[in-house]
A and B are shown apart, each in its own frame.
Chain A
């Protein structure tokens, strides 16, 4: 029994230590001596990898989720004779919740795992050591640009997700199910507020971008440089970032919309 408690405590301490070193890495990568001129091309390159190349999966899933929302909303709302509220429902659920959360989950799977694997492999092939020996801090050279890229990309992707999703909802609602176009859009415009809904959704996406990329680069940087170590770290990235996104989403929703 005592043994169990001791082991639990040991595990807790180890987690705390990992969290601490993740924080230290983040600080060192971001705070110390920003060098915008050497940094910018590196960030652009990483935005290409984590953002532009994730675009297709984001657009496709956004479209389908919007279409499903339109269909489901219609079948329920038509019972109450208020099928023109489909637009409002699709827009609110996308902008407030689904766009930031689903984008973050897809991003963790598509870009986060790739980041972890890439950095882990760099560690395994001594590229990080070699940078250090050349006299370049790998945190600044490797970690910081990737971090900024993830941080910038997720809100952009989430916004595109929202828009595509709403267009998908409109396609199903207006063109297939025959909801009157005017009331579909005006209902949506009446209920969606720019600051309250769209900006809050965007803030969520920014927070998720921060968390997912942080987890991804830390797992990569901290992994055991063997094949098992890297695959382990990649799995951890996806699991940890998904869980953190879902938990944080609750907290943020409570703060933004819950009047807590």
Chain B
């Protein structure tokens, strides 16, 4: 009987460990277990200003994908950002624009997509033609000061 109690204890202990790991994964890291099918689109930016891999891609504030890769495009001398967009979001017209935005004043960077008017939609491997780089605070302050001086 003592042996049985011990074995049940050990089983419960290991189970508790696994449940704890699962809760950490789901509640703390917000891991999504169902892997959504995605397609890839690209965008070139003058300046990504702190955008990182796994940053969110949103449309009207709704999550539609994430940044999967960032590298330097050697021909265009611009940052090339690869995004994985959820499959069911298949209505991004080819003249949609992608801009790098900031959540709050000092928050994280993410990409916001605004849909255009064309009938044709972006396919796997297409590029956003219309992009807007990250706002860099220093540039902004510089412009502001310049305007003040010139007045």
Residue numbers of A with Cβ under 8 A of B are: 44-45, 47-48, 51-52, 55, 82, 91, 95, 152, 155-157, 159-160, 162-163, 166, 185-186, 188-190, 192-194, 197-198, 202
B108 at the A interface (CB under 8 A): yes
Q: Which listed segment binds A: B24-32, B68-76, B128-136?
A: B24-32
Please determine whether B24 and A47 come into contact, CB atoms closer than 8 angstroms: no
Please determine whether B30 and A190 come into contact, CB atoms closer than 8 angstroms: yes
Q: Shortest distance in angstroms between B29's beta carbon and chain A's nearest beta carbon?
A: 4
Please determine whether A160 and B20 come into contact, CB atoms closer than 8 angstroms: yes
Name the residue in A160, A188, A202 with the highest tally of chain B Cβ atoms < 10 Å from its Cβ.
A160
B6 at the A interface (CB under 8 A): yes
Count B interface residues, CB 8 Å. 21
Give the residues in chain A near B137, CB-CB below 8 Å: none
What total count of A-B pairs have CB within 8 Å? 70
B124 at the A interface (CB under 8 A): no
What separation, in Å, do the CA atoms of A73 and B25 have in the docked complex?
23
Residue numbers of B with Cβ under 8 A of A are: 6-7, 9-10, 13-14, 16-17, 20-21, 23-25, 27-31, 54, 106, 108
Q: Shortest distance in angstroms between B14's beta carbon and chain A's nearest beta carbon?
A: 6
What separation, in Å, do the CA atoms of A197 and B16 have in the docked complex?
20
What separation, in Å, do the CA atoms of A68 and B13 have in the docked complex?
26
Give the residues in chain A near B20, CB-CB below 8 Å: 156, 159-160, 162-163
With A185-B27, A188-B28, A193-B29 already in contact, the answer to whether A48 and B10 are too (CB < 8 A) is: yes
Contact of A192 among B7, B10, B29, B108 (CB under 8 A): B29
Q: Shortest distance in angstroms between B22's beta carbon and chain A's nearest beta carbon?
A: 10
Please determine whether B13 and A162 come into contact, CB atoms closer than 8 angstroms: no
Interface of A is mostly: helix
What separation, in Å, do the CA atoms of A188 and B13 have in the docked complex?
27
With A55-B13, A156-B13 already in contact, the answer to whether A162 and B54 are too (CB < 8 A) is: no
Give the residues in chain A near B10, CB-CB below 8 Å: 44, 47-48, 51-52
With A52-B10, A198-B25 already in contact, the answer to whether A160 and B30 are too (CB < 8 A) is: no
Please determine whether B24 and A156 come into contact, CB atoms closer than 8 angstroms: no
Please determine whether A163 and B23 come into contact, CB atoms closer than 8 angstroms: yes
What separation, in Å, do the CA atoms of A188 and B9 have in the docked complex?
32
Give the residues in chain A near B30, CB-CB below 8 Å: 186, 188-190, 192
Contact of B28 among A44, A155, A160, A192 (CB under 8 A): A192
Contact of A166 among B14, B28, B31 (CB under 8 A): B28
